[in-house]
Chains A and B, each alone.
Chain A
Amino acid sequence: MSAPRAARFGRAVWVILRKDLKVEARSKETLATLALFGAVLAFVFAFGFVGDPAVNLQVTPGALWAGLLFVGSLGVGRTFAREQEDDAFTALTLSPAPRAALLAAKALVNFGLTAGAMALLTPLLALLLHVDLTPHALPLAALLALGAAGFALVGTPLAVLAVGARLPEVLLPMVTFPLVTPVLICGVRGCAAQLGTSVDDDVWAWAQMLLAFDLAAGVGAFLLFDSMVSE
């Protein structure tokens, strides 16, 4: 990519990103929904799993990643539901912005929303399950960020296509789930390794696997995106 093209690409990403962030900052619709949904989830986990401290620590990774799964699939659908109003999506695909810029901007928005919701949900879960996550804050944040990125990279292109195909909104989370299974396995096992609740204690290996998945999903999404979206 030559320098002017790269600059144009960057500007297109920035314009779409800023538009979405502005809409979100004004309505706060998606983040509020996600945060509340996360809180409800946290209560359900607390009702279901709170036991003695060792048990609580053992269920924490599962609760965290189940939270990421639900919050993530909800958020991915939301970012495009907005584009369906007044057929804004068609306008976006017809604009001179490269398609890849649309994908990049939307993936960034999804990543930000999921990561933001998880930043609220994680302390809440720690509080309700009586576990002290502060010594593990950085590795856990890194694992969750890698997971949120994987989620955004798989979910965003599918959400774009689902909007184009006018698929019912319930189908999207269902389709995303089997595709992000590797993220969930690596995330849960990595967190368990970090918290010391599993035999395996090599957190870095799980993080590497997450990173590899993110890279592969990103490359796949960007390579195929142009041929996937139809006018």
Chain B
Amino acid sequence: MAAAGLFWAHWLAFVYVPMEGTMRAAQRIFYFHLPSAWLCYVGFLLCAGASLLYLLKQQSRHDALALAAAEVGLAFGVIVLTTGPLWARAAWGVWWRWEPRLTTMAVLFLIFACYWLIRSFGGDSAPVRKFGAALAVLGAPNIFFVHVAVTRWRGDHPNNIQLEPSMRVALYSTLLVFMVVFGLLVRLRYRVHLEERAAAALSRRLSRLGA
């Protein structure tokens, strides 16, 4: 169903919505860019929240959820950071601007990329999990400061855009489809991490029994 939804979203974005006046075809990227950006933020927030829970309660499943959310958030972040510059090149003439939302997104992406790197290459011990959790918990509110600082510095990202009804249909449909995909992916990764941990615990028990 999610796969069908993705086809539907592509059809809406590329065929159904009318051509926009000034930006022409480049505007169509927006139907993927905006939902991905929102879900990327949701993923990182979920990761920070689950990490805080993990630090407070020390339960493995919170950590597994945090890791799953960060992974899926990063995947959506890659979509945002590729579609964004493509649009910017057409709209602003440059690939990148040091503008609050772009900078915030880039720094946030970096923080969670580091999180993912540590979790992937640091091994899977409790201190590494805690390090990751601390990074997520300290990193998420940090974004507020980045945003305030860059806003003072400069700003011109499109805000509060007025949309045609058909465009709104396309936007909210893609958002809905992306949300379903996001939920499925997080659930999938969460289960994989839980299974992995169960398997690791079992093999530890087995090797103890054998010894």
Contact = CB atoms under 8 A, between A and B. Distances in A.
Chains A and B form a bound pair = yes
Interface in B74-97: none
Interface string A189-219: 1000000000010000110010011001100
Given A158-B131, A166-B127, A220-B138, A171 B118 contact: yes
A185 interface: yes
A32 interface: no
Interface string A211-231: 011001100110010011110
Contacts, number: 100
A158 to B, nearest CB: 7
B150 interface: yes
A171 B117 CA distance: 9
B138 A165 contact: no
A179 interface: yes
Nearest to B98: A185
A55 interface: no
A64 B204 CA distance: 51
Interface in B127-163: 127-128, 130-131, 133-135, 137-139, 141-142, 145-146, 148-150, 152-153
Interface residues of A, number: 36
Nearest to A175: B114
B168 to A, nearest CB: 35
B122 A161 contact: no
A220 B135 CA distance: 11
Given A189-B152, A227-B56, A213 B145 contact: yes
Interface in A38-73: none
Contacts of B146: 181-182, 185
Contacts of A177: 110
B149 to A, nearest CB: 4
Given A175-B135, A179-B139, A228-B134, A167 B118 contact: yes
A154 interface: yes
Interface of B: 55-56, 103, 107, 110-111, 114, 117-118, 121-122, 125-128, 130-131, 133-135, 137-139, 141-142, 145-146, 148-150, 152-153
8 contacts: A161-B127, A165-B122, A171-B114, A185-B146, A189-B152, A224-B55, A224-B134, A224-B138
Given A158-B138, A182-B149, 13 more contacts: A158-B134, A161-B127, A164-B127, A165-B122, A171-B118, A171-B122, A179-B135, A179-B142, A209-B149, A221-B138, A224-B134, A229-B130, A230-B127
